[in-house]
Amino acid sequence: MALPYRWQSRIDRWKNSFRGFFGGNQQSRPKLCPACGTLVGMNATRCHECGTSLTFSLPALSKKFGGAFGGHAPVTTVLMIVNILMFGLTLMRTMSIGQGGGLSILWGMSGEALYRFGANLPFDNGWVWWRSVTAMFLHGGLIHIGFNIMVLMDIGPVVEEVYGSARFLFLYLATGVGGFLLSAWRTESLAIGASTALMGLIGIMIAITTKRGGSSMKALQSRLISWVVSTFVIGFAVPGIDNWGHLGGLATGFALGKIFADREPVNSTERKQAYALGWLAGIVIIASFTMMVLHFRDSLD
């Protein structure tokens, strides 16, 4: 059965991207330096303007990885995929120990499964750094992940387009960790969910509206604040919602939104800094999942 044209085109783009990444033959064509945007020769290996390597450098590698997922928001797409994969693994673990049957999939993941896959712990109960990262990709049920994925796909591409993919990944990670740090300080239970980082993205957008004028920005700011108020009202009304995590993510996002220029990098120096932040965030995420795997079978005592 033939694949739809859209998927065939996407697969061809992935194949071409990874072929180039691993050094395969590609048709020569003019290209732009990923660091400064200068047009370089078809066979050039280094930019004549800024000196950046076109084959092995943070900007070059970032461009190849971003191209593999296509679209204008590749990091948002990857985050969505990882969240769904982790939900599937957590559900399988929950069912393997005799839980998660019937309608409980909507809200009832096993606490043991969430702990083993990296739920965040309070400071008074064995907190470790990597759990504040892995917890961002865990959810307590189908309703939980469904709502968060909808918010991610709604807000993520907007923020990623404003800051660029590399800085967006850093901001997403930083706001999520900020939320879980406050949660670990103020709560006494396991904490999970992408909502710490999502509230961070909302905080960033609110910060942007305070730096830009115009009626449209004021209207957007009003809607965002209404969204935040509604989130906390629901959080206080429904047991089990991590309001401290939401607050920590929101505050971290607002602070970072004030610090970072609300635009993509515009020159070679800014692009290199952005790529460095993005790769730093990626390495931290990979290291956190590695720690989760290494400690997966630790005793629960």
**% of residues, the chain, pLDDT over 90:** 55
- pLDDT for res 258: 95
- pLDDT for res 54: 60
Measured CA to CA, the distance from residue 112 to residue 140 in angstroms comes to: 12
Closest CA to 261 of 194, 179, 171, 157: 171
Q: Mean pLDDT of all residues in the chain?
A: 83
Q: Given a cut of 60, is residue 17 above it in pLDDT?
A: no
Q: Given a cut of 80, is residue 2 above it in pLDDT?
A: no
Identify the residue whose tokens are 């709502």: 147
The model carries a pTM of 0.79
Q: Would you list the DSSP string of 182-251?
A: HHHHH-SS-B--THHHHHHHHHHHHHHHHHS-SHHHHHHHHHHHHHHHHHHHHHHHSTT--HHHHHHHHH
- pLDDT for res 70: 52
Measured CA to CA, the distance from residue 114 to residue 209 in angstroms comes to: 36
**Segment 219-239 mean pLDDT:** 91
Residue 300: what residue type? L
Which residues are catalytic, by number?
195, 246
Residues 104-128 have pLDDT tens digits of: 677 778 889 999 999 999 999 889 9
- Residue 261 has φ and ψ, to the nearest 5°, of -65, 130
Q: Given a cut of 50, is residue 26 above it in pLDDT?
A: no
Residues 134-187 have pLDDT tens digits of: 999 999 999 999 999 999 999 999 899 899 999 999 999 999 999 999 999 999
- pLDDT for res 291: 97
Measured CA to CA, the distance from residue 53 to residue 45 in angstroms comes to: 6
- Selected residue with higher pLDDT from 219 and 60: 219
**Segment 1-6 mean pLDDT:** 50
Measured CA to CA, the distance from residue 202 to residue 286 in angstroms comes to: 25
Domains of the chain: 74-294 (1.20.1540.10)
Question: What does the block give as tokens for 40?
Answer: 């370089």
Q: Given a cut of 80, is residue 71 above it in pLDDT?
A: no
